[in-house]
Chains A and B, each alone.
Chain A
């Protein structure tokens, strides 16, 4: 009885969590302009999306911007975050604690505050508003996630392998590329995926830092679109696709982590 109740509760929670997503996914397969009306199964919204029917609306442009920004931000954060993790790992005592603390703050800081303060900073520094400012802002909030994913890898590996590389004639740069990075790669990949999804997902920070040059990412496009009166129907298939992509990415991350844990356990 207790077990049944527990299962019911879990089922209810999952249903509530996923209901909106399922609703969007289902309604992406009908032509109705009004969300919630079922006018028969159709893949017209999908074909509109891919056949260029959306040209001129700016939707595809926004998707394109989102992906480019996410890729650049994730790539640079991975580099920065990895180097930062190595630095934090090798620092000691108070300095280490202080850097870890500073690293964690951006993750818990409300996006609006991050967005507004970055906006003010960019204006103050005269950074060009648009692609550059948005990418910089995304790097800022993505890097800490990479740090958190690379640090455990540093703890796991034998720190002496770096010295061994130097000892065998590698310059510090070669030792980093040939010995350190390959061992940190699993953490870096997970960090990259997380940074990528964080960037895809962001609205508040982008909204404040994109400036007035008319740069639209998916999230700002949807926001503007919704205020103009009703969502463009083609957003439904797009959201469904994005959800599936992100879902797959997260499953990949989880499987990777589980495998790493298993490998670690089997070595013991």
Chain B
């Protein structure tokens, strides 16, 4: 597993914080000299991954190798990595020079050598003449530069950066991105960068690692991640996208929005439900004519600087987002074309909810940690373990959590052209997926109801006999 050119190997690492599993079997190889970005929403485990590389956390399962050596039990100060912290973490009692010289002094580097190296990195980060300044007197951007200088002056094999630009304003962030990229080229060392900003990830990295809920979703180059997302989460998180429920009719033929389209994907089988992603800039829009593949009416048009962003409603009840250099006024009848290359077909992760449960009595089943009423089941006795299947659209959410059998909070919302696909985390930490027309907000606390007749219950045979 340790290929010759890989400097960091994360091998099946899992990590729990109490009951909560924050990392779930993460594996990742980082090549020497690469600029790798770990990208994901807050709480996805990206910072924990970085802290495991730095040595501030130890994995509960799995191994971490740096430079081919097992590092699980190696203390942070003995690892060949340096970190740029989120809020800089400069030493307030030391001036700029002493902050940067901190690591070198500990290593016992000669005084004149320290001075040479400190001045060199100060020049590199554009902070010459600031060496005697008090760090509290510096602006956010300047503190950031000192933090970077303090890390790279030690010539680490790997530089870890934990959302280093998140505290800076937009313009400053753009400038720093360019400088970081140049620094990476100049230094030739490996950068591992953690961020929740997808634009930053695409701009900076050689490789992007998309994480969600402690699981690696996709690893690839920025173009791969953008053009060929492996699932709805990645498609939605990276850039803007139109996501549809579709059906793969045959190889190179997919049906969505009530129309058949040519695509380039093969090997899904026939009449298989799939998710389809089309980027808003990949839909060609024109005045209504008969050359289009489908039609619609413009219902919104916003100027975004470089392009216009339009909302188009189709007669089939779908809502599309389209970006184009030409504006079409609200109410315009339009025709649209999507080219085969621009249709990204993804295997559905699931087509209905599949929940593990236990029959508590003849008409009740415990799923999601709560007791739901169900129809009497022939051949299943109370206490039996069962599998319960529920269609996405059959799950009912209530505003007041007390109106539901179970309580949950909405952790992810995906808009799928004519409905929302919600991820709701129940009290016991399990997820249930819901299709709905209603508008909910992220982090809403809701009640969960399922009608007895909408549950398909089957016994788990193998375990029953055990």
Contact = CB atoms under 8 A, between A and B. Distances in A.
B89 A163 contact: yes
Given A168-B102, A174-B106, A267-B136, A163 B76 contact: yes
Looking at B55, B75, B93, which has the most chain A CB atoms within 10 Å of its CB? Answer: B93
Interface in A148-180: 157-158, 160-161, 163-172, 174-175, 178-179
B89 A160 contact: yes
Contacts of B89: 158, 160-161, 163-164
A161 B90 contact: yes
Contact of A168 (B56, B92, B93, B150): B150
Interface string A236-267: 00000000000000000000000000000001
Contacts of B136: 267
Contacts of A169: 77, 103, 106-107, 154
B93 A182 contact: yes
A220 interface: no
Interface string A203-220: 000000000000000000
Nearest to A263: B136
A158 B102 CA distance: 17
A179 B91 contact: yes
Contact of A163 (B85, B106, B154): B85
A72 to B, nearest CB: 27
A183 interface: yes
A186 to B, nearest CB: 10
A176 B81 CA distance: 20
Contacts of B92: 157-158, 161, 183
A14 B87 CA distance: 48
Interface in B67-87: 75-77, 81-83, 85-87
A168 B85 contact: no
B91 A167 contact: no
Contacts of B151: 167-168
A167 B83 contact: yes
B54 interface: yes
A164 B89 CA distance: 7
B106 A183 contact: no
A168 B54 CA distance: 11
A13 B106 CA distance: 57
A171 B103 CA distance: 11
Interface residues of B, number: 25
Contacts of A170: 77, 102, 106
Interface in B255-278: none
Nearest to B51: A163
Q: How many residues of A sit at the interface, in one of the four size bands?
A: 20 to 34
A162 to B, nearest CB: 9
A260 to B, nearest CB: 13
Contact of A167 (B54, B86, B107): B54
A166 B91 contact: no
A167 B76 contact: yes
B450 to A, nearest CB: 36
Contact of B91 (A164, A171, A174, A267): A164
A163 B47 CA distance: 14
Given A171-B77, A183-B93, A165 B102 contact: yes
A198 B463 CA distance: 69
A168 B90 contact: no
Contacts of A168: 77, 82, 102-103, 106, 150-151, 154
A259 B402 CA distance: 52
Nearest to A162: B89
Nearest to B54: A167
Contacts of B76: 163, 166-167
Contacts of B82: 167-168
Looking at B56, B85, B87, B89, which has the most chain A CB atoms within 10 Å of its CB? Answer: B89
Looking at A157, A163, A169, A183, which has the most chain B CB atoms within 10 Å of its CB? Answer: A169
Contacts of A167: 54, 76-77, 81-83, 151
Nearest to B136: A267
A185 to B, nearest CB: 8
A167 B56 CA distance: 9
A164 B83 contact: yes
B367 to A, nearest CB: 31
Interface of B: 54-56, 75-77, 81-83, 85-87, 89-93, 102-103, 106-107, 136, 150-151, 154
5 contacts: A163-B56, A164-B150, A165-B91, A167-B83, A183-B93
A-B pairs, top 4 by smallest CB distance, nearest first, are A160-B89, A168-B103, A164-B89, A166-B76
Given A161-B92, A167-B151, 13 more contacts: A158-B87, A158-B89, A160-B86, A165-B91, A167-B82, A168-B102, A168-B103, A169-B154, A171-B75, A172-B77, A178-B102, A183-B92, A183-B93
